[in-house]
Chain A
Amino acid sequence: MSNNYLDIIRPGINTTFQDKGRDHLYHIGIPFSGAMDNRNYLIANKLVNNNLDSAVIEFAYQGPCIKYSGERINFAVTGDVVFSIKKQDAEIEGNCYQSYQVEDGDEINIVSTNKSVYGYLAFGGELDLKFQWNSCSINTKANIGSNAGKKLDVGQKVNLKKINSNKDIKKTNYINSKIENIRVIKGTNFDYFSEEGKKIFYEKEFTVSKLSDRMGMRLEGPKIDNIVNTNIKSEGLIKGVIQVPADGNPIIMLSDHGTIGGYPKIGVVASVDYDRLVQMSPGSKIKFKEINLSDAETLFKLYEMETQNLLSQI
């Protein structure tokens, strides 16, 4: 038994351990998984002096309430998150993007994400988690990863294997930007849709449905009419693919997506907008904007440079 551990007093709605995800497994039906919002995941680790690929706690909407036992440790929360730290003598309101120290008996209460979906809680050290295919990311659909592939549960204990000796407090002024349009690249079945359907896809507004999770985001709005076939022979999927089934409502594949699908692909979300896409909560309005491959590649390069800059300043 480790002397340093977390007590999960309240698990939150959809709280899992995530890291960089697992690759080279699509062909056997295992998706990438990993932190949904990669930039916020990396920043969380940097703020607590971790290796950037360390495991963190990812939560959605309502987060966990955690009691800490053990020697002093740093933690940080990233995203747009309301949380507090309860110490013996006081309760203080927490700010995202800065690290704090907790001591034996302190509680971290992640109340909720604000107008967004995912937030990250990183501890300055190493959580004692089981790795499967070089990743501890939890995939609840196939019960893969740490914690027997299940969400965090009330009353469970999570041990820390190691606590970082570097306990420097860090801070950054990052603000999660919102974007008006989600940029997409034309899909391989774009021509399955009527002229009217294509116009609707690029010009009308869609609403993020409540039926969205780590596997996919369902959209509601004007129907997109298919004029060729509402099924294709099942084939591979990647994250960001937008499928349109027979009912005409688009579904966007997210990090825990099934690896094979049989609905026509109208578009694919550009990698540059993925982190911001996953943060759109139910009820948010989405508009798609077409870009070409070379613009998508350039935009991603810039986004990646920005991420590296942010990290280097922490």
Chain B
Amino acid sequence: MIKNISNLGDAAVYCDFGNEVNKSINSQVIKYFKTIKEKKFEGINNLTPSYNKLIISYDLKKTTFKEVKNYVENIDTKETQDINSKKFEIPVCCHENFSMDIKRLEGILKLSREKILENFLNKEYFCYMTGFIAGMPFLGDLDVNMRAQRLETPRVKVPKGSVALTEQFANIYTFESPGGWNILGNTPLNVFDSSKEDKPNLINPGDTVIFKEITLDQYKNYNE
């Protein structure tokens, strides 16, 4: 449940569900997100669910903090269906052409390359949220032996399709962008397609993802 509601600036409501990151809290966030999205409250123009927060931004010309807060406090989420989750297998190539940070991870995690891949691949990860740049899925939780901090100096350009780790999370870079996560491999799969306006994201909050290793040849010949 929402523990606290405050304002984020003068045009957003900040709903705090706590500080822990787990599926149960995240599912609550997503339930609120879905309920509000379906009800289409006049003036609300964006909803951003994350691990344990929901930010609701609104058009200050149409409504105010007080009105939106009051609305959120009185929402009934019981009717909202649980997330209809999907499972995805994501092909990932961990050839040295792509696994730019494997050496760094070997050092930090004190694990061999083989062990790192064994710990990472073929396991189910939960999608907590999507965003940053179009469609990037934030997945978790990684094995406790796999947790590394971000790079001290983020890369200016992370290649599109990079599969990367930080703390208990994994993600897929949907576009070439700056980024500081530890890169383990690359997927040839297009995770975001802006030409599909109704469903640009392949992976959505609540879905599960399993990474399956492919060879460099399979990567090069990959056909969706």
B133 to nearest A CB, angstroms? 6
Contact status of A260 and B135, CB under 8 A, knowing A238-B57, A293-B10: no
The answer to whether A293 and B65 touch (CB under 8 A), given A29-B133, A133-B197, A233-B21, is yes
Contact yes or no, B131 A27, CB < 8 A:
yes
Interface residue from A149, A235, A297 paired with B64 (Cβ < 8 Å): A297
Bound together, the chains give a CA A238 to CA B9 distance in angstroms of 9
Residues of chain A within 8 A of B65, CB atoms compared: 293, 297
A24 to B51, CA, bound (A): 19
Cβ–Cβ < 8 Å partners of B8 in chain A: 187-188, 238, 241, 265, 268
Q: How far is the CA of A143 from the CA of B46 in the complex (A)?
A: 20
Structural contact, B131 and A260, CB atoms closer than 8 A = yes
Nearest neighbor of A298 in chain B, beta-carbon distance: B10
Is B47 an interface residue, CB under 8 A from the partner?
A: yes
Known contacts A24-B46, A235-B51, A293-B65, A29 near B9 by CB under 8 Å = no
Q: How far, in whole Å, are A269 and B60 apart by their CA atoms in the complex? A: 14
Say if the beta carbon of A254 comes within 8 Å of chain B: no
Known interface pairs A26-B47, A27-B47, A142-B175. Does A233 touch B52 (Cβ–Cβ under 8 Å)? Answer: yes
| Residue picked from B37, B60, B131, most chain A C-beta under 10 Å | B131
Question: Which of B9, B12, B45 lies at the interface centre, i.e. has the most chain A CB atoms within 10 A of its CB?
Answer: B9
B19 part of interface (Cβ distance < 8 Å): yes
Point out the residues of chain B lying under 8 angstroms from A261, CB to CB: 132
What's the Cα separation between A268 and B60 when bound, in Å?
14
**A235 / chain B contacts, CB cutoff of 8 Å:** 48, 50-53, 55
B125 touches A (CB below 8 Å): no
Q: Judge whether A142 and B60 touch: CB under 8 Å.
A: no
The digit string for A214-257, where 1 denotes a CB below 8 A from any CB of B, is 00000000000000000001111110110000000000000000
Query: B46, A142: Cβ atoms under 8 Å?
Result: no
Flag whether B136 is at the interface (Cβ < 8 A). yes
B6 cross-chain contacts in A, Cβ below 8 A = 188
Residue of B nearest to A268 (CB): B9
Q: What chain A residues lie within 8 Å of B174 (beta carbons)?
A: 29, 142
* Interface flag for A175 (CB, 8 Å): no
Nearest A residue to B11 via CB reads A271
Question: Is A91 an interface residue, CB under 8 A from the partner?
Answer: no
Q: Given A24-B46, A235-B50, A141–B175 Cβ distance below 8 Å? A: yes
Q: How far is the CA of A300 from the CA of B205 in the complex (A)?
A: 35
Is A208 among interface residues, defined by CB-CB distance under 8 A? no
- Given A144-B134, A144-B194, A188-B6, decide whether A25 and B11 contact each other with a Cβ distance below 8 A: no
Encode B124-144 as 1/0 by CB contact (under 8 A) with A: 000001111111101000000
The reply to whether the CB of B27 lies closer than 8 angstroms to some CB of chain A is no
Instruction: Please tell me if A122 contacts chain B, counting CB pairs below 8 Å.
Output: no
Interface residue ranges of B34-56 to A (CB < 8 Å): 37, 45-55
A-B contact pairs, 16 of them (CB 8 A): A28-B201, A144-B134, A185-B10, A233-B19, A233-B50, A236-B131, A237-B55, A238-B8, A238-B11, A238-B55, A268-B9, A270-B10, A271-B9, A271-B11, A297-B10, A297-B60
**What residues of chain A have their CB less than 8 Å away from a CB belonging to chain B?**
23-30, 32, 132-133, 141-144, 149, 185, 187-188, 233-238, 240-241, 258-261, 265, 268-271, 293, 296-297, 300, 304
